[in-house]
Amino acid sequence: MSDVFILQLFGSFGPDVLLIITAILAILTGFYAIQTKKTVTVLEKTARMEFLPKIKGNIHMIGPTDIDFRISNVGKGPASEVRVNFRVIGEQTVAREWVQPLMKPNEFQDFFIPINDENETQSNTPFFQNHETRIELDATYRDILDIDHSSTEIINVSEFVNQFERTLSVFNEEQ
C-alpha cells in the first residue's frame, strides 16, 4: 500500500525520491556520528587535563633576606615516580637529584641552594646579588593514568633577587 501511495504522490519518480531521501538521511547520520565522536574525544581530553600533575621549580622567600629553592606540584592531580634533577650553575656547577614516590597537588619540597660540591648551601640574598646563579630543572613523573610527563625550566636566581630588591626599594620609597 505504501508503494501505491508513493506512486500516487510522486508519480513515476517515487522510488527515486525515496532513494534520495534515504541517502540524505544516511549522510546526516554519518555527519552526526562524526560530531559525536569529536565531542567525546574533547570530553576525554578535558577529563584527563583536570587531573594532570605539573612539577615546577621556583624561588621561595623564607625570610626578609633568605631564599630557598622549592619544587612543587602545581597541577590538579597527583604525580607518581617523581624524579627531579637540578643543576645550580654559578661559580661552580652543582648537580642534585631528588626522588619522591608520590606528590599530591600543592605539595612541595624546599631545598637550600647548593653552591659547591662540598655540600655548602646558601640562602642569603646578598650572596646571589653578587654571584650570578641559575638553576636548571629537569623533572619526570607520571599521572594517575600512568602516562609519562616531563618538564624543564631555567630559574635565574640572581635576577629574582635583584627584582625583589628593586621592588622592595620602590615599596620603601612609597612609605
| CATH of residue 79 | 2.60.40
Give dist(CA 155, CA 89) in Å, integer.
10
Whether residue 21 is predicted with pLDDT greater than 90 in this model: the reply is no
Looking at the structure, tell me whether residues 44 and 66 fall in a common domain.
Answer: no
pTM (predicted TM-score): 0.71
pLDDT tens figures, 92-115: 889 999 999 999 999 999 998 888
Instruction: Work out how many domains the chain is built from and give that number.
Output: 2
The closest of 138, 70, 139, 78 to 108, measured between CA atoms, is 70
In this prediction, residue 13 carries a pLDDT of 62
| Cα 16 to Cα 8, 11, 63, 154, distances in angstroms | 14, 10, 84, 69
Most confident by average pLDDT, 62-71, 117-126, 159-168: 62-71
End-to-end CA distance of the chain: 94
Domain that holds residue 19: 2-49
141: pLDDT strictly greater than 80: yes
Q: Summarize the confidence of residues 37-43 as an average pLDDT.
A: 92
Least confident of 40-44, 54-58, 124-128, 153-157: 124-128
Are both 44 and 60 inside the same structural domain?
Answer: no
pLDDT at position 120, please?
A: 81
